[in-house]
Amino acid sequence: MNQKTCADILARVRSKRPLIHHITNSVTINDCANVTIAAGAAPVMAAAPEEAAEMVAAAGALVLNIGTLSREQVEAMLLAGMRANELGIPVVLDPVGAGATRLRTESALRLLDRIDVAVLKGNAGEIGTIAGTGGTVRGVDSGGIAGDPVDTARECARTTGAVVAMSGAADIVTDGRRIVLVENGTPLMGQLSGTGCMAASVTGAFAAVERDRVLAAAAALAAFGRAGERAAGEARGPYSFRTALIDEVFTLTGNDLAEHARVRTIDDL
């Protein structure tokens, strides 16, 4: 994978403007909608079980996020996810807080069991929990993992069958064989609620136009991370960073991404 690939996928998102159906976190729903628009796609937030399967039929990707979990929401996710699978529409799952409570962990595992998830995007604690290799989560924040991050991400991909995008100081994207490190980003992203949810939305937009989910996820995280790097220079603190971040996603060019995306393949087993 190289920087030009990242720029090419971004260009296709903006050319095709895919609809991204979200069933997501009520805390960050507005940010997810706006970052989807800024990336060049179109968001729809349709969480009612009565319309979830119908709405997803018009979408280019489905993004599921269990950050503010309810029984009705999981029902809607299952209906939308299974319909998306029938139609060949990629599903991105953000298992927010898996490992923090039994409800969250069991809900994430249930979704993974019933739905063919294209990209599983989470922090180290969530991915370690789902992989069964050991991970701790405090609230919705990662408390760390027991072993090597690359091995954890790869084992999770092999166990779930999904491409895993694990956030960290360097994001790790793997299908269990290929491994891509994405080293764009800024520590300010960890000081603002919702950046992980926004990253999942951008991943959905990229997955809607790129069938190779490793490339889609890695390019999405590089683009979002690069926007964060640019925004950090304008911010006085976390909330001004939030505004600048969405603006920088919007103004990010293919040329900038081709020059500054820091992606590297480290393994091919």
Query: Residue 135, annotated ligand binder?
Result: no
Q: Is the pLDDT of residue 100 over 90?
A: no
15 is in an annotated binding site: no
Calculate mean pLDDT across residues 124-143: 69
Tell me what pLDDT residue 251 has. 97
Question: What is the reported pLDDT for 143?
Answer: 46
Strand partners, 182: 171, 263
Crossing angle for the helix pair 49-56 and 71-87, nearest 10 degrees?
A: 20
Mean pLDDT across the chain: 92
Q: Residue 97: what pLDDT?
A: 87
Q: Find the angle CA(194)-CA(25)-CA(147) to the nearest 5 degrees.
A: 65
List the single range of 112-116, 144-148, 152-156, 160-164 with lowest mean pLDDT: 144-148
Rounded to two decimals, what is the model's pTM? 0.93
CB 133 within 8 A of CB 152: yes
Domain that holds residue 172: 3-268
CATH code (residue 66): 3.40.1190.20
Residue 127's pLDDT band (boundaries 50, 70, 90)? very high
> pLDDT of 188-202, one tens digit each?
999 998 999 999 999
| Backbone angles phi and psi of 72, in degrees to 5 | -65, -40
User: 164 pLDDT band (50/70/90 cuts)?
Assistant: very high
- Calculate the alpha carbon distances from 99 to 96, 126, 139, 169 in Å: 9, 6, 9, 20
Q: What is the pLDDT of residue 144?
A: 54
Question: How many domains, in total, are found in the chain?
Answer: 1
pLDDT at 136 over 90: no
What's the rounded Cα separation, in Å, for the pair 252 and 11? Answer: 10
Q: How confident is the model at residue 140 (pLDDT cuts 50, 70, 90)?
A: very low
- 74-88, 89-103, 241-255, range with the lowest pLDDT: 89-103
| pLDDT tens figures, 68-78 | 999 999 999 99
Q: How confident is the model at residue 81 (pLDDT cuts 50, 70, 90)?
A: very high
Task: Give the pLDDT confidence score for residue 132 in this predicted structure.
Answer: 83
- pLDDT confidence tier of residue 99, bands split at 50, 70 and 90: confident
Q: Compute the average pLDDT of residues 89-95.
A: 97
Whether 142 shows a pLDDT value over 60: the answer reads: no
Q: What pLDDT is stored for residue 85 in this prediction?
A: 98
Is 166 annotated as ligand-binding?
Answer: no
Distance, CA of 22 to CA of 84 (rounded, Å): 12
Both tokens of 208, joined, read 């809607």
Per-residue pLDDT, averaged over 150-160, amounts to 93
- pLDDT one-digit tens code per residue, 18-40: 999 999 999 999 999 999 999 99
DSSP for residue 192? S
CA-CA distance, 216 to 197, in Å (whole number)?
Answer: 16
